[in-house]
Amino acid sequence: MKVIDNVWHLIKPEWLEYLNTCPALQFPKDLDLPKDMTANTLLGENSWELNQDELEWYTIGGYDPHGTNYEGFDSHNCPFDIAETINFGRPKNAGWWIVRQHPGQYMPWHRDLTCANDGCYTYWIPLNDWEPGHIFVYADKTISHYKKGDVFQFDDSYEWHTGCNIGYSTRTVLQIRTYD
Amino acid sequence: MNFIGNYATWIEQEWIDEILSNDGWTVPRDLSKDPQVQLNEDERKWFSSGYKMSDHFFSAFYKDDCSFEITPPWSPQSWDWWIVKMMPGQFIPVHGDLAMATRKNAKSYWMPWQDWKDGHIFMYEDQTVINYKKGDVYEYDASIKHCAINIGSVPRIVLQVRSYE
């Protein structure tokens, strides 16, 4: 996990305005997960499928499948496409999503299992300066004192990681994933 | 965080079993039951930041909540203690123990009752404490900002000790 760039100059004020003020998808609440969390299930019209780590959040960890642990944006619920502007040289093969966490929200410990193929690159870009209580842990490393717009490239898109907000203000992070 | 030593053999399994099978105090919800409790500046800031007093951040066990007595083997001084149980998804927001700054020669100790597990996070200043072993004892400056969260899959149990002259 290393800082390779800072792209704050590419972040448009109207994106931030939207992200700071508009409703987002509530996870996992809006996934409409079944009460029976003992089997991996295709879910609703969005065909969400839980990966093994996510399934264990509910079956082993006891997390509430109908609560809100974090909020999310992507091209489906935003009037803009960030990958048109920030794509690390792969405009045709870039996807993005944004995680917004209000104080007390978190994402349980997990891997991004769907991207474990070769030629996948994951970039983690905070949209706020670091403050105490804003936690990002990648493998056994804690990422602190970052600046908004810093670009951290995952060494391995498949690595265990988590992001949490037990601080005093909202934490918003952009993630971009590209493929060869 | 200053490593003091490992006292794993001092921890009785029945203590762990008792904590796991009981509720203790629901913090912060149950704080309203105790008129003596006064929130410090950091704690008041939690509730102006969106945390709710009715929430269940974690469970706390004090002397009166336990059938066993704690006598920390590493400290010859007077002490207070409590045990924190965090189920997956529970946490304590960032704070400093501000009262510590006014106590004469006060010392704070942190002792996990399990080996470190993925998703068990104690953040002190700007780093998380990892790869610890059950019974490790760390002395730390509790007035420095710290916080903890369990985003793993098993409960997290930690003994906190404050010693005073």
pLDDT in tens, A41-85: 545 444 456 778 888 888 889 999 889 999 999 999 999 999 999
ipTM metric: 0.91
Please check whether residue A174 lies inside any domain of the structure: yes
Are the CB atoms for B112 and B136 separated by under 8 Å? yes
Please check whether residue A14 lies inside any domain of the structure: yes
Please tell me if residue B86 touches chain A, with a CB cutoff of 8 Å: no
Please check whether residue A73 lies inside any domain of the structure: yes
Average pLDDT, chain A: 89
The one-letter amino acid at A164: C
pLDDT in tens, B40-60: 888 899 999 999 999 999 999
Binary contact (A104, B93; C-beta < 8 A): yes
CATH of the domain at A109: 2.60.120.10
Percent of chain A with pLDDT over 90: 67
Q: Is the pLDDT of residue B105 over 60?
A: yes
What pLDDT, on the 0 to 100 scale, is given for residue A42?
Answer: 45
What's the residue count for chain A?
180
What pLDDT, on the 0 to 100 scale, is given for residue A33?
Answer: 80
For residue B92, which of B139, B40, B137, B55 has the smallest C-alpha distance? B55
Are the CB atoms for B79 and B162 separated by under 8 Å? yes
Binary contact (B126, A162; C-beta < 8 A): no
Binary contact (A167, B118; C-beta < 8 A): no
Q: Is the pLDDT of residue B165 over 50?
A: yes
The residue range of the domain holding A130 is 2-23+69-179
pLDDT in tens, B70-97: 888 987 677 889 999 999 999 999 999 8
Please check whether residue A154 lies inside any domain of the structure: yes
A66 vs chain B: nearest CA distance in angstroms?
13
Helix (H, G, I), strand (E, B) or coil at B108: strand
Higher pLDDT, A9 or B33: A9
Alpha-carbon gap, residue A45 to A48, rounded angstroms = 8
Domain count, chain A: 1
Binary contact (B91, A168; C-beta < 8 A): no
Band of pLDDT at residue B21, cut at 50, 70 and 90? very high
Please check whether residue A28 lies inside any domain of the structure: no
Please check whether residue A121 lies inside any domain of the structure: yes
Please check whether residue A61 lies inside any domain of the structure: no
Are the CB atoms for A168 and A141 separated by under 8 Å? no
Mean pLDDT lowest for which of A31-45, A90-104, A111-125, B83-97? Answer: A31-45
The secondary structure of chain A as a DSSP string is -EEEEE-GGGS-HHHHHHHHHS--EEEEGGG---S--SS--EETTTTEE--HHHHHHHHTS---TTSEEEEEE-TTSSSS-GGGT--TT-TTSEEEEEEEE-TTEE--SB--GGG-STTEEEEEEESS---TTEEEEETTEE--S--TTEEEEPS-TTS-EEEEE-SSS-EEEEEEEEE-
Please check whether residue A86 lies inside any domain of the structure: yes
B71 vs chain A: nearest CA distance in angstroms?
32
Band of pLDDT at residue A174, cut at 50, 70 and 90? very high
Q: Averaged over B1-18, what is the pLDDT? A: 96
